[in-house]
Structure 1
Amino acid sequence: MITLTKFTVIVPAVYQRPEVVSTMDRWICHALGSHVKDLKIAVGPSGNEEEYSYSLPQPVFNAISIQVLDLDNCKLKLHPGGDIKLPSLKKLSLTTVFADDIVVSKLLAGCPLIEDLNFIWCFGFKTLQILDHHANLLKLRTKRLEHLEQIKLEAHNLRSLELHGPSWPSRLEVVSLKNLTSLIISKAPITDKWLNEQLNKFAHLENLDLFSCPMLTSIKIWSSHIHTLHISSCKELARIEIDTPNLSIFSYSGDIISFSSNDLILSESFLIPKEIRQILSPPLCKVKELKLSISNQDESFTTAELVDAMLWISPHLQSLRIYSSLKSFFKFSYKQPTNEGESGCYKSLPVSCWNHCMEEVNIKQISYAVIPTWHYYTEDVQMKPISNHEERSYILKQDIWEKIESGLLDWAPECLI
């Protein structure tokens, strides 16, 4: 008998087409008989109408060979008294799947080796419990679970957790995730208090990503393990306070806010006045990559001002991206530390005089413009805007700061009128 490693079935909507359903059932049962390890079934799309979904054949619920199961637009329904036993399953992905609480409970209980769980836009079940007997579970991702009312998480070995809205349970109970290293939350009505309470539980958290959390207003992030931090589109956020000595990658996208590090408030602007720099320490000394997005085009800053500000905030940057009307990409390289020379910046950290330490800068800039172009037709004349862009690249090795400060990098392409 042929042994199948992977079997994929992708068909259009099957409702009111019993001959298609029957054929699919035979294909899938044949794959199970061939000890398939990776099974993918994608049907539809069927929207969110349960009666339009493909009902998964019962033998799949007890397939001993399946290690990866990926279902899209399917319905999971057990026969009375039926059970689920998938002893080899390691990865389960459910997208637009209908299942009630009993099926979900039996499904999780019947997968003792599960490592990776994904629930995307699923319907029907109201409770999701990830308990400690899922000892091998390393990754959990949920997104837009329409009917979900409660999530309980008690998985000591879970490493990665992603919780995506906009649908959100009325009760989210995090009992124990003591080994969690990555947390991603998006489109969620979480509060400052809830976030701070959870972060205190995650002693080993290394990556934190918060996107579009509208109820966050003032957050505190204190951790010696976090090295990657992304905060984006949290519209009500007015203050961030961080104490993360090992942070290496940080990105923030949103309005200009109050930012502080180690209890030292900087400013409501990212352009820190020079007199303030004399009394404060740069907050992100270990960050190597930084992205600055300026959404308010009414603010007018020169490229030199932005680069100077970012290199004070993060004096050891290797790469810098500035997104405004002009997109600028910088790659910095520095001289090797030495105790010689007129500058003493190498004795500790090149903070106050980074421009003395810089050896080479590679720069790429892209500017987009809308060029109005006339088009002539038989009866009228129309003007159609066409998007155009211009690119420039530079390699600066001598008089680096003088060239940046001269306005060399402040330009825009000409628009044809």
Structure 2
Amino acid sequence: MEVVVDKISELPEPFLHYILSFLPIKQVVQSSTLSKRWNHVCSTIPVLEFDKSFFESKLWCQDTKETCEIQRKKVELYHFVEQNLLSRRRQGLSIKKFTLAVCLSTPKSVSRVNRWIEYVVKSDVEELNLDFQTFKWKWKSYYPLPQNILLAKSITVLRLKACRLDSYFGDINLSSLKILSLYNVGTNDQIIQNLVAGCPVIEDIGIENCCGLKCIQFSGLPKVKSIELKSNKGVETVELEASNIYHVHIQQFEASKINLVPCKNLKLLNLGKLHITDSCFNYHISQLPLIEYLSVYWCDKLESIKISSHCLKTLHILKCDKLVEVEINTPKLCKLSYLGGNTISFSVTALAYLSKATYQMLHPDAPWNVKKIELLANLSNSKLLELLNISSTKDMVILKELRDIVSSPSYRVKQLKVEISKSFTTHEFIELVDSLLWISPRLELLLITHGEWIDKNWYRETISFKFSYEKPILRGENYSCCKFLPDPCWRHCLKSVTIENCRAPANVETVRADKEILEKYFYENAKILESFQFNPKVE
């Protein structure tokens, strides 16, 4: 009779701990019943995650007996956590990671959690994640964080959610802390300043949706690499001094004063929902010479800004409603995106490296005019141009009267990608292609992405056009279609067209109609066309 060998159980304990760390804690508990060895392994695992899936959220039901059973199981779970932590403490076992997500509704539950935290801290926990779920809206009624956490020298990662940190004025000594995350925490300016000052090796700070703050001031942080400040109610001022910081993200509705000038090594900067002025913004950009990534969004006081940088590679300007003028001088810029109206004036110079420009239309149904075409022209010094947030094909159709008085805005663009929300008919398809080929008259690749409902299923398809050209032979003719262009347009040098993946799953009649009208369009308009290929996707 063949003997079955349990090779997994024979693995060294650290390997088993590593395997179990990927399982939910309930499955770890179940594994402890397999054998004495597994019981020992499970009771000594250094990663403990008692999250929402461990503590059932259902507290009662209409059936009294079922409610009692639910409460009994909850008591058993609490007892398991208590005994597990107490046993570890008595054995001197350390905890690598401890996660607790629990609702504190009674004084008894608060006392219980206080004991658990004491056990965890004394077990030299390294990563501590605490989420005190609450239905209370007033943060002053939140769970007060025990002070022993702020003296835990072993903690390297501390994430706190839905608690109070507002009444501690003693020394803070988190000498090993590298990552600090506060979400929905009640606190004040002095506590936060003391907290960060008590973390000499801290590298990453995140403060989001916290209350009680007015002025966030951090200084003397030589190790900090990243700071994120988002949606902290009441914050009016942000001042940061961190000589080696790499990334800053500030999204504060009421902040009107910022000072990031001391952060000379800053490379990634996100500024959102701030009340900063043009002069404040322009000064900061001029004083941060190493910035490579800049995102500015929903800054409602910006009207005329200047961005001059020799290092900037990516620039996003999104929904700054009062912005009417942007001057960009960034010789190394690779990616540029703009989301907004069409009344803005762009002055763009020195974009030799620009590979991708994106224009997301805030009001796509606004008719095309000279101003809108000028805006598109200033975004068209790139190899790839994306036109996004377009509702229907008619939003991209440019009238002949306008084409006759202005030049094609994107004649340098070789690749054009257009995203349209609604489906379109074959006739609308031709109008769209004709308009796009006027916008970019020497395309090598055209991608049209659109959505369509078919049999109650939503399909998103990309239609691909690939073009190849011959060098045009000029015979002294004056072509009216390209009179504003430095070179003849596609109509006079297009050699081949290949169309692939046309439409979502469609019937044979629709596919045939697309092919016929597209083939007719290109042969009638391309003077020297030699090849037309149509490779539809039919399911």
1:246-272 deviations in Å (ceiling 9; x for gaps): 1111111111132221399xx622468
Q: Which amino acid aligns with 1:2?
A: L
Task: Say if 2:463 and 2:499, in contact at 8 Å, map to a contact too.
Answer: no
Task: Say if 2:314 and 2:334, in contact at 8 Å, map to a contact too.
Answer: yes
- Which protein has the bigger helix share? 2
Counterpart Cα distance in 1 of 2:228 and 2:287 = 19
Q: Which residue of 1 aligns with 2:55?
A: none
Q: Which residue of 1 aligns with 2:255?
A: 169
Distance 1:311 1:96, change over 3 A: same
- Secondary structure in structure 2 of the residue aligned to 1:323: strand
Counterpart Cα distance in 1 of 2:496 and 2:134 = 53
Counterpart Cα distance in 1 of 2:495 and 2:135 = 59
Q: Does 1:136 align with 2:223?
A: yes
Counterpart Cα distance in 2 of 1:163 and 1:141 = 6
Unaligned runs of 5+ residues in structure 1 are: 329-351, 372-385
1:351-402 deviations in Å (ceiling 9; x for gaps): x9954xx4xx48462234699xxxxxxxxxxxxxx78445354363657965
Q: Does 1:56 align with 2:145?
A: yes
Could you tell me which of 266, 279, 292 is aligned with 2:387?
A: 292
- Secondary structure in structure 1 of the residue aligned to 2:159: strand
Q: Does 1:152 align with 2:216?
A: no
Task: Say if 2:392 and 2:422, in contact at 8 Å, map to a contact too.
Answer: no
Counterpart Cα distance in 2 of 1:28 and 1:158 = 32
Q: Does 1:4 align with 2:95?
A: yes
Task: Say if 1:253 and 1:293, in contact at 8 Å, map to a contact too.
Answer: no
Q: CA deviation at 1:95?
A: 0.6
Identity within the alignment, %: 30
1:297-322 deviations in Å (ceiling 9; x for gaps): 6963259x9xx968546x465xx542
Q: Does 1:301 align with 2:388?
A: no
1:146-205 deviations in Å (ceiling 9; x for gaps): 132332222222211111022x23533334111111110111122222111110011001
Structure with higher RCO (Cα < 8 A, 6+ apart): 1
Task: Say if 2:244 and 2:265, in contact at 8 Å, map to a contact too.
Answer: yes
Q: Does 1:70 align with 2:173?
A: no
Distance 1:138 1:411, change over 3 A: same
Distance 1:289 1:37, change over 3 A: farther
Counterpart Cα distance in 1 of 2:242 and 2:118 = 33
Counterpart Cα distance in 1 of 2:408 and 2:419 = 15
- Secondary structure in structure 1 of the residue aligned to 2:112: helix
Distance 1:172 1:404, change over 3 A: farther
Q: Which residue of 2 aligns with 1:44?
A: 133
- Secondary structure in structure 2 of the residue aligned to 1:268: helix
Q: Which amino acid aligns with 1:159?
A: Y
Q: Which residue of 1 aligns with 2:432?
A: none
Q: Which residue of 2 aligns with 1:18?
A: 107
Task: Say if 1:46 and 1:53, in contact at 8 Å, map to a contact too.
Answer: no
- Secondary structure in structure 1 of the residue aligned to 2:108: helix
- Secondary structure in structure 2 of the residue aligned to 1:394: strand
Distance 1:82 1:74, change over 3 A: same
Unaligned runs of 5+ residues in structure 2 are: 1-91, 352-369, 401-406, 425-439, 471-489, 507-539
- Secondary structure in structure 1 of the residue aligned to 2:191: helix
Counterpart Cα distance in 2 of 1:247 and 1:147 = 35
Task: Say if 2:419 and 2:450, in contact at 8 Å, map to a contact too.
Answer: no
Q: Which residue of 2 aligns with 1:394?
A: 464
Could you tell me which of 227, 246, 262 is aligned with 2:349?
A: 262
Could you tell me which of 443, 450, 457 is aligned with 1:366?
A: 450
- Which protein has the bigger strand share? 1
- Secondary structure in structure 1 of the residue aligned to 2:287: coil
Q: Which amino acid aligns with 1:108?
A: V
Map 1:139-288 → 2, pairs under 5 A: 139-166=226-253, 168-256=254-342, 257-262=344-349, 268-270=371-373, 285=381, 287=382
Q: Does 1:117 align with 2:205?
A: yes
Q: Does 1:104 align with 2:192?
A: yes
Q: Aligned-residue CA RMSD in angstroms?
A: 3.9
Is 183-192 or 43-52 further displaced after alignment?
Answer: 43-52
Is 121-130 or 110-119 further displaced after alignment?
Answer: 121-130
Is 135-144 or 146-155 further displaced after alignment?
Answer: 146-155
Count residues with an aligned counterpart: 354
- Secondary structure in structure 1 of the residue aligned to 2:232: coil
Counterpart Cα distance in 2 of 1:248 and 1:300 = 28
TM-score by length of 2: 0.57
Q: Which amino acid aligns with 1:160?
A: H
1:313-346 deviations in Å (ceiling 9; x for gaps): 6x465xx542344599xxxxxxxxxxxxxxxxxx
TM-score by length of 1: 0.73
